[in-house]
Every structure is written in C-alpha cells, then in structure tokens.
Amino acid sequence: MTTNTKKRDNLTITYIGGGSRGWAWNLMSDLALEPALSGRVKLYDIETEAALANEKIGNMVSARPDTVGKWKYETSPSLETALEGADFVVISILPGSFEEMASDVHAPEEYGIYQSVGDTAGPGGLLRALRTIPMFETIARAICETCPAAWVINYTNPMALCVRTLYEVFPGIKAFGCCHEVFGTQKLLAMVAREELGAQDATRKDIEVNVLGINHFTWLDRASYRGTDLFPAYAAFADRHFSEGYEGAEGGSWLNSWFASAERVKFDLFRRFGLIAAAGDRHLAEFMPPWYLKDPATVASWKFSLTPVSWRIENARKLREKSARLASGAEPFILASSGEEGVGQIKALLGLGSILTNVNLPNHGQIEGLPAKAVVETNAVFSGDSVRPVLAGFLPSSIHGHVARHVANHETILAAALTHDARAAFPAFLNDPLMTATPAEAEKLYAKMIAATSRHFADWKV
Amino acid sequence: MTTNTKKRDNLTITYIGGGSRGWAWNLMSDLALEPALSGRVKLYDIETEAALANEKIGNMVSARPDTVGKWKYETSPSLETALEGADFVVISILPGSFEEMASDVHAPEEYGIYQSVGDTAGPGGLLRALRTIPMFETIARAICETCPAAWVINYTNPMALCVRTLYEVFPGIKAFGCCHEVFGTQKLLAMVAREELGAQDATRKDIEVNVLGINHFTWLDRASYRGTDLFPAYAAFADRHFSEGYEGAEGGSWLNSWFASAERVKFDLFRRFGLIAAAGDRHLAEFMPPWYLKDPATVASWKFSLTPVSWRIENARKLREKSARLASGAEPFILASSGEEGVGQIKALLGLGSILTNVNLPNHGQIEGLPAKAVVETNAVFSGDSVRPVLAGFLPSSIHGHVARHVANHETILAAALTHDARAAFPAFLNDPLMTATPAEAEKLYAKMIAATSRHFADWKV
Amino acid sequence: MTTNTKKRDNLTITYIGGGSRGWAWNLMSDLALEPALSGRVKLYDIETEAALANEKIGNMVSARPDTVGKWKYETSPSLETALEGADFVVISILPGSFEEMASDVHAPEEYGIYQSVGDTAGPGGLLRALRTIPMFETIARAICETCPAAWVINYTNPMALCVRTLYEVFPGIKAFGCCHEVFGTQKLLAMVAREELGAQDATRKDIEVNVLGINHFTWLDRASYRGTDLFPAYAAFADRHFSEGYEGAEGGSWLNSWFASAERVKFDLFRRFGLIAAAGDRHLAEFMPPWYLKDPATVASWKFSLTPVSWRIENARKLREKSARLASGAEPFILASSGEEGVGQIKALLGLGSILTNVNLPNHGQIEGLPAKAVVETNAVFSGDSVRPVLAGFLPSSIHGHVARHVANHETILAAALTHDARAAFPAFLNDPLMTATPAEAEKLYAKMIAATSRHFADWKV
Amino acid sequence: MTTNTKKRDNLTITYIGGGSRGWAWNLMSDLALEPALSGRVKLYDIETEAALANEKIGNMVSARPDTVGKWKYETSPSLETALEGADFVVISILPGSFEEMASDVHAPEEYGIYQSVGDTAGPGGLLRALRTIPMFETIARAICETCPAAWVINYTNPMALCVRTLYEVFPGIKAFGCCHEVFGTQKLLAMVAREELGAQDATRKDIEVNVLGINHFTWLDRASYRGTDLFPAYAAFADRHFSEGYEGAEGGSWLNSWFASAERVKFDLFRRFGLIAAAGDRHLAEFMPPWYLKDPATVASWKFSLTPVSWRIENARKLREKSARLASGAEPFILASSGEEGVGQIKALLGLGSILTNVNLPNHGQIEGLPAKAVVETNAVFSGDSVRPVLAGFLPSSIHGHVARHVANHETILAAALTHDARAAFPAFLNDPLMTATPAEAEKLYAKMIAATSRHFADWKV
C-alpha cells in the first residue's frame, strides 16, 4: 500500500457532539500526537457549555510544547455554522438523556427482559433508535446543504441505523461508522497467539482478520497471525478457558468493571457456530435469544455485567468535574494514543498512506446475502478520498439467520422513524430476540417506554 | 392463455407413496373425471400391501362406466422399477411412522413447547426434515438415473426442504411442490367478497392473488375479486370477526375438527403486518414466536387445535379399514373433484392449456430478498413442458425477518442432513421461534427426539 | 387462469397521439367489437385537426347499430386536460416529422450505412430516441401529476427507451410497452406446425413461447404447439426454406411490400445462434453488424426491403385523405379485430380474466444477466390491476453479447437525452453495430443528423 | 495494513513454463533479492532443455554471495511431479509455437484485419484461447489432485480466459492472474503528476488508482497522487500531448520499439469516454472497433506498432543464445528488481505484510454489472492466505458496452473449448470488434486459422 507522508494543513474538522467527554478527548489526544495534520476543530453541542470547556481544553493542549499536531478549537453556535467549511465531520452524540436511557435499559426488566447495554439492539436499542434517527435526518440534511463533499465519521450508537439514516436522507454522503469492538477481539487473538503459538510479542496489529456482520454483532471467519491460521489455536483456547472464562484481554476482571467480561459468551458462540464473534460479550449477548441475559443470575454465570444506567449518570457527573479541572488547568491533560483509528483514517483519506480497517458502510455486496443498503461491518481500504469495502463473503446460515433478523428489524425501525409512526416499529419490537413477553405485555411495555421518552415523539403516531 | 384441448394417451404416472389413503385417492378421482388423459399409474410404496390395495381400487374405478379417464394401476416392486418410463412422478410419502411423529409433536411439550401440526417448522418439523431429506436424496438420485426428463410433483412435508433436496441432489430435475393451503385462503376471500361486496356467487376461482413466502407461511400482498381490491374488504371483515373468529370458510367449527380454525390467527397477523397470511392457522402459528402456541389455553383462545398424533394413528387405522372395504368393493369409491390442481397442472405441462397457480420452486428472483436456491412459494405459469414463476416482488421487512429466519434454518438443516451430522442442525433447532427452552434444556430435548427416532440416524454424527 | 366476465362502464381512455391514422383506428375497431367495456376516449394530438377527425370517426363508429362497445370520443385541447380522469393512457405518437425521419434513415447512406426501418436501433434510431425522450419526459411528468394511478400503454418507438424514460421520470408509473412483432413470429410458427407437424388448424394462439430480449430484438428459447417442442420442426423448416426464403407467414411477397420479408434473416440467425429471433427481418437486421444491411444488393439477397421514408410520406398523405373520407362518411369504417392485444390487456387489468402475453417492462430479474431498469421484453401475466413478468431465464452468451451492447447504448442515450447533452450520446452512436464509418466520419454524420433535426436540440449541448 | 517481517523457509514454488526466458528470469531476480523467503523452485516445461538451462542459471544465481534469497532450482520431469508439495504455482507458458502465433496475428491481414498483439482479443486472441483452454484444463485438474491448497499465479495470456478456465475446472482453486499493464499507466500518471503538479519525486507507487475492467482492457475511474485527484491533470496532459503523443513513460520512442507507444490511443479513449484506460495502447486498440487498427497507416498515425511475429521468432532465438551464455557463465546474470509484484504477493499470502494491488479474479460483485464468474481486474487486498477484491463499482454504460461484449465472447469461447466444438466459438469470432469481414469471409478465415494450428484440434468438431 502507498506510504505517502506529506503534511496537510488548514484542515477543518467539525465535531457534532463536541462537548463529549470521551471520544472528543480521545480525538484531541490523537490529533495532538499526529505531526502530519493541522487546522481547526469546530465544536458543536446542544450543551454549549460542554463545547466551550472542550474548546478551552483543546486549545490548552495545542499550546503545549510537547504537542506536535497544532489545532485551533472553536465552539460553533449552530449546526449549520459548525459545518461550514468542514473537510471532516465527526458525529459522537448522546441521543437523549441518561434518564431516558434508564428507561430504555431498565423498563423492560419489569417483564424479565435484561439488557447489558441497551443502546443497539433489544427494546432499549429500538427506543434509542427511534429518537436518534430524526436527529441524524437533521444532520444529514445539514451536511447535504452545507458541506456535501466532507467525509463523515460516525461514532454514535445505534451505529448501523445512524449510518443507514445518513445515506437514506443524503445518498451522496461520504459517511462511514467506526467502532473499536473488533479491535478488542483482535487483542484477545493476540493473547491467543501468545498463549497457544508462543508468539510473545504479538499485538493486535499483527492479527489479520476477515470481518463480516453488523456492528456489535460482528464475526470473523478468518484470523491469522503472520500467516498462521488462528482458528485451531482459538478453538483450543476457548475450550481450555470456557468454564472459568479468560480475563487477560480487557485488562481487568469483569467483577470490577461494568464493561469487561470473561469472554465466556464469545467462547460459547464459537463452540456453537464455529466463527469468532468480534465484539464485547455485553453487546453480543443482546443480539441473541436470552441465552445469556435470561436473568441476573444467568448473566453472572456468563461473567459479564448489566451496566446500570445509574452508574453512567454518576460517571457523567465525575466527567463533568474532570472537564472543569482540565479546563481550569487544575488537572493536566494526559496525551496518549487512544487506540482508535480515526486520525489514521483521516490521513488515509487525505492521501497520506492507505490503511485497511473494519468499518460500517451500506452493503454493496461486500457481504453476500444481506440486503443492499443495510449497513454492515467489514474491512475496507482507506486511501485518497476513498473508502472501498473488500468482498467479505457470506455468513454461514446458522449465523446468517440471527443477523438477518436484526437487519430486517433495522429496516422496519427506519421506516417507522422516518414517517414518525411508532406503531410501525412495533413488529420489530416484538421480533427482537430478547422479547420474551407476550404481545399484550409487549404492547404495555412499548407504551410505557414511549411515554418515558415522550418529548421525542411529540408529533408521532403512537 | 392457450386453451388447447387435444387428448393425451399412454402416459405414465409414477406414484411414490402409492399406498397413500388420502392424496392417492384424490388423484384417482381427479384422473377418473378427466377425459383428456389416459395411461397407467405405477404405484410404489415401502408398504407393498397398501400399494396393492390401491392398485385394486384404482383399477375398479377405471372399470366403472361413469369413469371418463381410463388408467391402468400397477404396483411396482422397487423405486427404480416404478420410475421406469415415467412422464410424471408424484411423491406423497409419510416420512417415518406416526409413532415417530408422536415424538416430533409431543416430546417438546415437556418443555412447554406446543405444536399444532409439527410437520414443517418447530422442533418436530426439524426432526421430520432430518429423516426426510435422505429419503428425498434417494428419490432424486433414482429419478436422475431412471427418468431425468419426468416432471416431479411433490406433496410431502416439510415441503420446502423436500423440494430443496430434490434440486440440491439433481439440479436438472423438473420438480415443483404443491400445497392447497393458499386455496383455503382464497375460499375465505371468496366469503369476504360475498359478505363485504355482496358478490353472492364469488368462488375461490374468482379470487386473484399475488403469493409470496414459503410453504405454510405464505403471504398475499394483493387480492382482488374481478378487479376490485379485496384489502379494504378483508380489513373490515377481520376487524368485525376478530374477537369471535369466523368459521364459514372451512365448513365446520374448529371445536369439531382437528384441522379447522376460526381464522383468528390469520386476522391477528393481518392486523399486525398488513398482509394476508395464506395458510391454515395451525400452520401459521408454528412459524411465529409462541404468540399463539404458548400453552393449550392460549391455543384455545385463538380457536384452533393442537392436532394430537393419537388422532392421526386412530384415523390411519380407520383409513386402513376403509381401504380394505374399497378394495373389496364393500364400499363404493365416490368420484368427486378433489379441489387439487395436480391434474390441471399435468394437462398444462402436456400443452393442453396454460394455468396460473401457486407452487413451490427454487428462488430465481421470483421473491426479491430471499436467497437463490431457497424453495419459495409464488404463482407460476404452467404451460407446455414448462413452469415459470412470476415475479412476486418482496415481503415487507416486518414479515421478511420472520420468513428469512426459517429460510436460514432450512439451509442449516439441509447441510446437516446431507452430511449426516445431527450436531450441525442444532443451531437451527435453537433458532426456531417456538424454542423457548434454554440451550441446555434444548440439548436434552434434541437428544431425546433423536433417540426416539434413532433408526433414521444409524450412521449419523449425533 | 380466471375467466371473469363482468362488464365495466364509464371508463376513461386517454389517447396521446390521438390523431393517429393507424393504431387509433385499430383501437376504435377493437373497442367497438368488445361488449364488456364502455366509456369515453379522450384524444390528444399536437395536430388538433387529426384528433378532431378521429373524434368524428370514433363517434360515427359508436353510433352504428353493429357496434357492441359504445364509446364517446372527445378531443382534448391539452395534454393535461386529456389526462384528467384517465383510467388508461395510450401513447402512440410520431416523434418528429417524416421529413426528420428521412434524415434519420437516409443521411447515413452517404457513409454506406443502410437502415431498413431506422426507428429503434442504428444511427436513425439513436437520433429518434434523442428527440423522443424529452417528449416522454413531459408525458411522464404530466401523468405523475394528473393521473398517477392510470395504466399506461405505449406503442411508440423506440419502444425500450420510451418505456425506460417513463419509469426514469416517474418510478411509480404503471406503464408497459406493446408490440406485435412476436405475434408475427408466432404466426410463422403456426405455419411451421402445419407444414412440419401436419397441424392444419394451428393458429398463432396455439403457439406457446418463452420470450426474452429487447423490443425488435426479441428471442424465443422455447416454442411449442400443444406441448410439442417446435424447435426440431423449425430447424427443418429453416433448413428447407433458407435458400429461397419463406413468404407464407406475412401474407405477401417481400417484393410487393415494404414491410414483408422472406424470413431469411430469421432463418440465418437461427442457424447461427440456435434460438428463434422473434421480430420482422427488417428490425432484426438493424441490431446486428451489417451482415444483412451492407448495401442494397445484400439487402435484396436477404429478401427484405429498405423502407424508404418517401413511401411513408406518400402513405401518410393517402391516410390523411382516407381520414377525411371516413370522417365525412364518404368511406365506411370497417370493423375488424386488429389482432392487437391492447383491449384484452385492458380487460385483464380490470379483473375481467387473466392473460399471458409478451410485453416491455423494466427488468426486475425476468431476464437474468441484463441490468435492472433496462426495459426488456418477456411474457407477463395480466390480471386485476397487475402486470407481472414471468421469469424468462437468460440468453446464451453468443446472443447476450449483441443484446447487452444495445442495452448499454440505451443507457448512454437516455442519460444524454435527459441532460440535453448530444455529445454524451456520441459513444453510443459510434458503438452501434451498423456504424462502419470511422470516428471522424461518424462525427460528421452525427453533426449533420443533429442539424437536420435541430429544432429538437435548441437548448442542447451539441 | 500489517507489516510483519518474519522469514519463511522451505517454501516450494512450482513454475509451469519453467523454461521461460522472460518471466522466469524476473522471478529469479526478485527471489534472489528478497531476504525473507527461501526454499526450492521446481521447473516444469514441455521443452525440458529450457527448464534445465534455467535450473543451472537459477542455482548459479543462488550460489552468488550477493544473493540474499537462497533457492534451490530443480527440473521436474512431469507436471504432476512438479506440482507435488507446491505452496505456490506460477503458470507462464507459451500456448503453442510462435509459428502458430504467426497465423493468429497475420492470417487475418488478408481480410484487412490488423492486430498489434493478437494474444488476448481479436481473431488471433480467440484462436490462442481455443488452444490454451484445454492446457489450463489439464493444469487445473493436476493442481486439484496434487496440491489443491497451493496458491496459483497465472501470467499467461489470454489472461481472463486462463483464470476463468482454472476456476471452471476446479472451483476451489486459489488462483489469480497478474499483469503489469496497469503499472505502466501508473508510471504515466507519475509523469503527469510531475509535469502538471510539479511533484518531481512522484513514482508509480505514489499513484493510488481504482481499477476496473478486464485484463488488457482495464480502466481507472479514480487516480490520485497523495490525495490530489489526478483527473484534471490528466485531462490537461492528454489535451496538450494528444496531437504529438507522449513518449516519456515507456522509456523510448515507439518508432524504436515494438512494444512502446506514444499513448495517443490512451488519450483518445480518455477524451471520448472520460476514464483512463490502463493498458498499453497496443492492447487497448485490439478491444475496440478498428478505430486504431484500420490499416498500417492508421496504426502509424496513432504512433504504435503492429508487433510482427517474425520479430518474436528472432527475439526468441536471441534469448535462447542468451540462455546458453547465462547457463555457461559466459554472461553474468544481472540482479535487479523486475518491477513485478509476484514476490510481494507471495510474501503477503504468507502473512508477511498486506498489500493492495490489481489482480484478475472471478467476479463476485467487485464490478457491478458484469456477470458472476467472468474474470475481471480490480484491486485486491493480499494478506495471510487470502486475496480479497475491493468493491470497484461499475463502468459507465459507454464503456460497459465494449467490455460486456468481450466478456460475452469469453463465455462463448470457453464453452466451445471445453466441449471441443470449434463451431460453437464462431459467433464470438464474428462478434469481435475487429471483425470487419462478412460472415462468409469470416468463415473462410476461421477455417484457415484452425487449419494452421490443426494439431490442437485433432478431436474437435470443426
């Protein structure tokens, strides 16, 4: 692949959700560490104060002598203003409040439906999608009018439906969706290479994989370490660690982290289906029938957690405080590579060297058997002003059935949200694999969840 | 369409499952009433006595003066002998015994899984498929070697997988699958035309429909009576009759028949999905999550029955006795049109007038969005030596998700059966919509059901 | 198929090109002979006098006691007025004048390029398409706004591009294109059945065919007479008549008719490719390299004619006179079935009995291997408010290459015409099989042909 | 992309056509310069002496102290022996003699048909294909039986049909076809970057392109230099150099080289079609109608040559002599990178770093609109034991028509060659764009060309 190294200046990156206290800080760090790029970052957030704090933090970082990538951060008063002149648009928003997310995640528990995340699939993912799609409709229209040639990187969940909406509303958009879940599985595979093949220095970058599926329900049908097929090694590894789980890859015990797991779901899926599921166990569990999420005891037996939204609320409070400290200089901003590939992708799109990585894009045949337009996750080649998926092949029928079900639900949800018709999404609500309630119970639950987030459905048919 | 009326003599029809006491008698009747055709019918059955009885009955019918279609019935000692010289092959077998079917249908009840038929979907349908596919493999090979140019009509369930197997084993086969379930829905629609439109003389032949789906889980997205769209009429009809059900179309109350229903499932599906489901409620219910089959009380509330296999065993006994009476002349064989379209299809294939009817065939694009090779049900034009599906369009995503799930299961089951690997079918067993048991319970149930029909799995990996 | 016979009154048929002195009179005749339908026919023509004459003629026909189908004919002052209330729209226009057609057909002769018709393919067909597409754009827009639910029947050439344009501009249109060329080949096949099989009473209605290709370049890969494969018979027939030609099917010698042929092109194509070409030789010859149209002597050796446009001009004059005589009552209008299927199609669309016939529609897979959207000709089932193509299969590669070349040209021409960019169509002009001139010569010819019809290209990029 | 650098020893490369005095020497050089790989190269050639000479040369190279890649060269007595143990198979054969090629290239001149190469398209390419396909049938069968898991790299022409045959005969083969023509266009584009953008250090490796088409008739719809779109620059360059041509990219004047050109064909195609044709002018000209090959004067005006086969015969004689000198040590073997990517591909397939390059593979959707199975050329990602095409999009209709015509011809030729039926290929012979002869003349020419190479058609239907 090409390895150009020329520098690019005067770039404009627009960050929608620019008050973010996670992804935004990652991006600041990665930009600060990248010598080849410079320009300005325009921050837009419905919470203006958060954007202003990040403006301050970003400019402080830029002013530091150890910062090689110099950027000017500025807060924009409106979406349209923010998009003016954009070369790149990053979308990383929280669609709705954490209080609303509490309804998404916990309301179904009344009917025995447990969700570990609740932002992609499950009843919670559906409700979140319904309120997110109109937001992405607005964003897509604004991009179409203001900066149609900009590259758009989405980090928001539900990933597939966010990207799907962008293309539905503005078919000419140059958008893709990024998610680091596959990277986590590559890390696990590097552990496998070390443990099974004795490759002590293996890192995730050494692990070549073929990726196919939908975001958070992604699969690998090939994985190799320097040309050596990792499937036999992974089989041995999964067998050995199945009962107790394996906690090495995520840097901590699942008992101490709402986000970690012991990979037992992943091992179980491998033993059942023969392919490597490539997302965190908390995400994977939500795409299947309630094998792993039947009740809290079952979840515990699989060694992962039901992340409570109360924790997210508390964590958000802490991050707000940290933001204040960073903005005031009371706490130093630590520069460190985030492990994300956003900046590498931007460089490749600017013609500064091609890269191959996994990404979410509308299906044009990169996955056989899934419908055109569905947003799928596969590897793609990033090069100058171009992202081209590789042909990833097809899923075995035993997995395809599960994936196709979610894809069909996505299409149902999208059509409902675009027409503001909540009734039209109910068949997808009922057809979610976690939905064990009867149709009558599901009706009640759905009404309750709509009501709990009713400000998003003011003009909807409910 | 063409309306040729020339006569065809010296035809050879091979009937596999020729001892049948249902479909075979229907065919005898229809052939006897058809003046344009004559020849011989070769009966083959693993139960030779049953075939011999039908030979006797058939020849008695042929000898009657009121019979206009004259056929010679003869029993063949082997499949190969039976197929020699065949112009048409009819396959209508019982795959396994009723005792085995009792396991299919009733074993899952221990885990709260109820099946109204158990021959197509559900755990029972899967087990039946596993033992049927190898039988159809044998039949396909024999046809390929003995009469590759013959037209093959399958009536056996599970329909889709039977036809799928024939084409998988002998891609050049000229086979299709016939089922009368859609006709029943057309009868119901004729009732709708009478009740809603005042069309007192409407019959099922007046109802034009567009058919799309898979056998027993078939849908209509258009239905018209003499050019008048029936959807508004059906909507009014379904609303009015939803609570109490409607029992006019099937000629009797569901309370008195293991096969009748009050169409409440059909009405519910219409109200949820907007399309007309076109099969008996007992079949439809098995393709959905356990909305209608949760437990016997739920089934009763939807006004259809869980057909007990004990009834089938008892009924088979009665039919055996009736067969003896018919063969001995003690009971007269009553000539009456069966309502099936087999003889009409045979005539069309012989060039004696085209017909349009619904039929099960491998997908070559007649349904968009379902995979190639999957056996789907749509309308097709039958004419001289040719069956061509019409383009039926695509299912809405809310229904597609349910259909695609079964299609994926079919592919998993087929691959497992062809390789004699029962383990490989377990993912489909787990992914059946009726499967509410945990994976561990499902493992136990599966093992039990395999064991109960173990003579079919002698050389399998289990 | 259904055989409903109910009557339909109060229909509105809009006839665009309603001053037509060919297709319009055919329609009058067929409507007058059809007892099941009645209503009004609204005539619209840019030549208002022609429409007024037809209004008079039509109403005289309707008033006759031997007329069973009663229609009121009325002339509309504008396209929009004409379309108001339309249940059916018939489009049969002459795109441009015969003087312009003289340029289409004869200008290329200067470069040794001869065209027998010049209205579909060849340089003449391309020029005609360029000026026709904007007319159909206007019509499609008007239908979309005024009568979007009407069924639209096109008889205008170039057929494929006319129908393609209607769907491109108004994707929801219910349009199809009808052409009787296949009927002519069915007549020839009826002759074959008589001569080779001794079927003395065979008529074209007895000939079942599978149709696939594009209009005027249509092929049959199956043809049967009452179930008997006609291919061996046709092979014998073609061999026997190849040298001298066969003139029985078209009712006269090619020497006395600008439209007849001796079928030698058809026989040659069969002997080369193995499929039956199903259009008149004059049309077929224009789709191939100049095997048959190299020069007038070659054309004569293949026993068909280069229809001179001077003849069309003269014939138009005669028809104008005939129109005057008919309108004044000086000449009686002769009622006779035209042999066209338009009225039968209308009846089927009204739910009065299904029919199967060949028709031009966008490809949704009815022909494998040709692109979606391309307008192709295959059989289709007409029933209540519905036209559904049958799956026709695919063309052998040896023919596919020729058809695909024209389809690609169509797409190039369409895009050029919709953007009013004559330069963009030049690659198609150069890639026409009849184009033997060098690119430089072709440039000159193209400029000349554009200039000769320049009133259609006022605002174009040339 | 991954950048692993581990070493691989004990590899076995089988070279079919191992007596080659061009590609084989290139490979020797590249292997000798590559430190990461070692093993043995098994040479097989129907001309054993040539293989033995290369064995000697290769081992002398390996023995040199400046050689970092150590390989043992050995001659195999039979194809099967040669394939035993192969990890990689290289196929680079001359199908038939140069005397036979003289017929391919020059026999058509009698009918005014001129060919600049005659090995891919045109009447000569067709004849060559007919005799080559059975050779590749043999090779594919042998690989299937002896080393089914080996990676197979083809360099033989006609490329598309050679690779197509390998997959047709052994669908599980891991084969691809390599050709350096696109590299040449990248070199030209590097010149463009220098001349138009002032990028003085631009090399072909800096030029990112999207490749789509078929071998030797390949197109670029995107080309960029470090992120800068090269299309405007190329347009300016092509306009400026169109009249006189540009001779900088190929290192010499077309007047002094049978292989060079002045890129005038390429510029003309760009100005007509808007895409960059990416092969040598001599190849490109053969895929179009005789715009560039009408006669020798036309060819000269386009500034490229009709490579005479007499030159090839003379050149082969010189290479034989050179081979003798190299084998005896009289002439030193010069180690220099060949510019080919074969060794880089081998390394990538061994997991030693991914690369992106253009390659010929069966179409699985990498080019929309071309049929499945057709062998097309696009970019692909090479990584551990895997080659995955990127989605390249589709050709504009104006170019697609030309490409699709050749693809259809390929399918016709393949079917004819596999059934040993020369008659069946004649439609493709007639449908070649260079075929300006009448069908009757073409028959004569075809018969003559078959006769001139008759030893290859001993058991064929001619």
> Looking at chain B, which subunits does it touch, using at least 3 CB pairs closer than 8 Å as the criterion?
A, C
Q: What share of chain B is helix, strand, coil (3-state, %, to 5)?
A: 45, 20, 35
| D441 shares contact with chain C (CB less than 8 Å) | no
User: For B96-197, where are the E strands, in sequence order?
Assistant: 151-154, 174-177
Residue indicated by tokens 């908390």:
A282
> Chain B contacts of A293, Cβ < 8 Å?
none
pLDDT of residue A257: 81
CA closest to C423 among chain D residues: D272
- The amino acid that residue C53 corresponds to is A
Q: Two tokens at C430?
A: 């150069």
Chain C meets chain B (3+ C-beta pairs below 8 A): yes
Confidence of residue B236 (pLDDT cuts 50, 70, 90): very high
Mark yes or no for CB contact D401/C404 under 8 Å: yes
For residue C257, what pLDDT is reported? 81
Chains C and A touch (3+ CB pairs under 8 A): no
d(CA A217, CA A283): 7
Tell me whether residues A412 and B402 touch, CB distance under 8 A.
no
From first to last of the 462 residues of chain C, give the pLDDT tens digit: 444 446 788 999 999 999 999 899 999 999 999 999 999 999 999 999 999 999 999 999 999 999 999 999 999 999 999 999 999 999 999 999 999 999 999 999 999 999 999 999 999 999 999 999 999 999 999 999 999 999 999 999 999 999 999 999 999 999 999 999 999 999 999 999 999 999 999 999 999 999 999 999 999 999 999 889 999 999 999 999 999 999 977 767 787 788 889 999 999 999 999 999 999 999 999 999 999 999 999 999 999 999 999 999 999 999 999 999 999 999 999 999 998 899 999 999 999 989 999 999 999 999 999 999 999 999 999 999 999 999 999 999 999 999 999 999 999 999 999 999 999 999 999 999 999 999 999 999 999 999 999 999 999 998
Q: Which of A369, A397, A408 sits opposite B401 (nearest CB)?
A: A408
In 3D space, the residue among D255, D268, D262 whose CA is nearest the CA of residue D191 turns out to be: D262
Q: Give the contacts of D344 (CB within 8 A, at least 6 positions apart).
A: D355, D357, D382
Q: Do C427 and D294 touch (CB under 8 A)?
A: no
Q: Which of B219, B368, B397 to mutate to test the interface with A (most CBs of A within 10 A)?
A: B397
For B95, left (φ over 0), alpha (ψ -120 to 50), or beta? beta
Counted across chains B and C, CB pairs separated by less than 8 A come out at 121
Vertex A68: Cα angle to A65 and A70 (nearest 5): 90
Which positions in chain B touch C381 (Cβ < 8 Å)?
356, 379, 381, 390
Angle at B131 between CA B130 and CA B135, to 5 degrees: 120
Give the pLDDT confidence of D312-351 residue by residue, as tens digits.
999 999 999 999 999 999 999 999 999 889 999 999 999 9
Tokens 């409106």 correspond to A78
> If chain A, 462 residues long, is cut into consecutive pieces of 10 residues, what is the mean pLDDT of each piece?
64 97 94 96 97 98 95 98 98 96 97 97 98 98 98 98 98 97 96 96 94 98 94 98 89 78 97 97 97 97 94 95 96 92 95 94 97 97 96 98 98 98 98 97 98 97 92
Return phi, psi of residue B404, to 5°: -60, -35
The pLDDT of residue B32 = 97
**For residue D1, pLDDT beyond 50:** no
Question: Alpha-carbon distance A376 to A357, whole Å?
Answer: 13
In chain A, whose CA is at the least distance from the CA of B289?
A431
Nearest C-alpha neighbor of C63 from the set C437, C335, C321, C314? C335
- Write down the pLDDT at residue B259: 83
What's the whole-model pTM score?
A: 0.95
Q: How many CB atoms lie within 10 A of CB A296?
A: 12
Q: How far apart are the first and last CA of chain C?
A: 52
Are the beta carbons of C224 and B351 separated by less than 8 Å? yes
Per-residue model confidence (pLDDT) at position D4: 46
**pLDDT over threshold 90, residue B260:** no
What pLDDT is stored for residue B6 in this prediction?
65
Q: Give the Cβ contact number of residue A437 at 10 Å.
A: 20
> Is B384 within 8 Å of C227 when comparing Cβ atoms?
yes
- The answer, for C297 touching chain D at a CB cutoff of 8 Å, is no
d(CA C83, CA C86): 5
Instruction: Return the pLDDT at D251.
Output: 66
For B313-321, which contacts have Cβ atoms below 8 Å and span 24 or more sequence positions?
B313/B98, B313/B99, B313/B102, B316/B21, B316/B98, B319/B21, B319/B22, B320/B21
pLDDT, mean of residues D99-118:
97
Q: What is the pLDDT of residue C1?
A: 45
Task: Please count the residue pairs, one from chain A and one from chain B, whose beta carbons lie less than 8 angstroms apart.
Answer: 75
- Annotation marks residue D180 as catalytic: yes
Q: Which of B180, B364, B402, B410 is catalytic?
A: B180
Q: Name the residue among D410, D442, D449, D450 with its Cα closest to residue D428.
A: D410
Q: Judge whether A199 is closer than 8 Å to chain D, CB to CB.
A: no
pLDDT-derived band at B8 (thresholds 50, 70, 90) equals confident
The DSSP element (H or E) to which B399 belongs, if any, is: helix B397-418
> In this model, does residue D284 exceed pLDDT 80?
yes
What is the average pLDDT score of chain D?
A: 95
Q: Do B272 and A427 lie within an 8 Å CB cutoff? A: yes
**Residues B100-141 pLDDT 10s:** 999 999 999 999 999 999 999 999 999 999 999 999 999 999
Question: Helix or strand or coil: residue C461?
Answer: strand
Are the CB atoms for C185 and C265 separated by under 8 Å? no
Measured between beta carbons, which residues in chain A are less than 8 angstroms from residue D384?
208, 224, 226-229
> How confident is the model over D438-455, as pLDDT tens digits?
999 999 999 999 999 999
CB contact under 8 A, C412 and D397: yes
The reply to whether residue D405 touches residue C401, judged by beta carbons under 8 angstroms, is yes
What is the pLDDT averaged over residues B201-212? Answer: 95
CB < 8 Å to A206, chain D:
2, 4
Contacts of C435 in chain D (CB under 8 A): 289
Positions of A marked catalytic: 180
Average pLDDT over residues D144-165: 98
Q: Over the range A283-292, which residues count as b (16 or more CB within 10 Å of their CB) and which as e?
A: bbbbbbbbbb
ipTM for this model: 0.94
Nearest in space to D296 (alpha carbons), one of D307, D281, D280? D307
> In this complex, do D397 and C415 lie within 8 Å of one another by their Cβ atoms?
yes
Q: List chain A residues with CB under 8 Å of B400.
A: 408, 411
Asked if D227 is an interface residue toward chain A (Cβ–Cβ < 8 A), one would say yes
What is the pLDDT, as a whole number, of residue D6?
A: 65
Res A248: pLDDT: 77
Q: Which residue of A has its CA nearest to B397?
A: A408
Helix or strand run (H / E) with residue C24: helix C23-32
Q: How far is CA D232 from CA D192, D222, D275, in A?
A: 10, 11, 11
pLDDT at A6: 65
Tell me which of D207, D356, D364, D394 to substitute to probe the interface with A (most A C-beta atoms closer than 10 Å).
D356
The DSSP string of D199-237 is: -TT--GGGEEEEEEEETTEEEEEEEEETTEE-HHHHHHH
Subunit partners of chain A (3 or more CB pairs within 8 A): B, D
Give the 3-state DSSP-derived string for chain A, with helices as H, strands as E and coil as C: CCCCCCCEEEEEEEEECCCCCCHHHHHHHHHHCCCCEEEEEEEECCCHHHHHHHHHHHHHHHHCCCCCCCEEEEECCCHHHHHCCCCEEEECCCCCCHHHHHHHHHHHHHHCCCCCCCCCCHHHHHHHHHHHHHHHHHHHHHHHHHCCCCEEEECCCCHHHHHHHHHHHCCCCEEEECCCHHHHHHHHHHHHHHHHHCCCCCCHHHEEEEEEEECCEEEEEEEEECCEECHHHHHHHHHHHCCCCCCCCCCCCHHHCCCCCCCHHHHHHHHHHCCEECCCHHHHHHHCCCCCCCCHHHHHHCCCCCCCHHHHHHHHHHHHHHHHHHHHCCCCCCCCCCCCCHHHHHHHHCCCCCEEEEEEEECCCCECCCCCCCEEEEEEEEECCEEEEECCECCCHHHHHHHHHHHHHHHHHHHHHHCCEHHHHHHHHHCCCCCCCCHHHHHHHHHHHHHHCHHHHCCCEC
Buried b (16+ CB within 10 A) or exposed e, B130-139: bbbbbbbbeb
CB-based contact C208 B386, cutoff 8 Å: yes
- Average pLDDT on D103-128 reads 97
- pLDDT tens per residue across span B433-449: 999 999 999 999 999 99
Q: Alpha helices, DSSP H only, in C329-418? A: 342-349, 397-418
Q: Summarize the confidence of residues B406-427 as an average pLDDT.
A: 98
To the nearest whole angstrom, how far is the Cα of D146 from the nearest Cα of chain A? 22
Restricting to C residues 329-368, those with a Cβ less than 8 Å away from any Cβ of B are 349-352, 354-356, 364-366, 368
Note whether B428 contacts A: Cβ–Cβ < 8 A: yes
Token pair of A196, please?
A: 């099974």
Please check the confidence at residue B4 and state whether its pLDDT lies above 50: no
| pLDDT value at residue C4 | 46
Q: Which residues of C are catalytic?
A: 180
Using the 8-state DSSP alphabet, how is residue C374 labeled?
-
pLDDT band at D296 (very low <50, low <70, confident <90, very high): very high
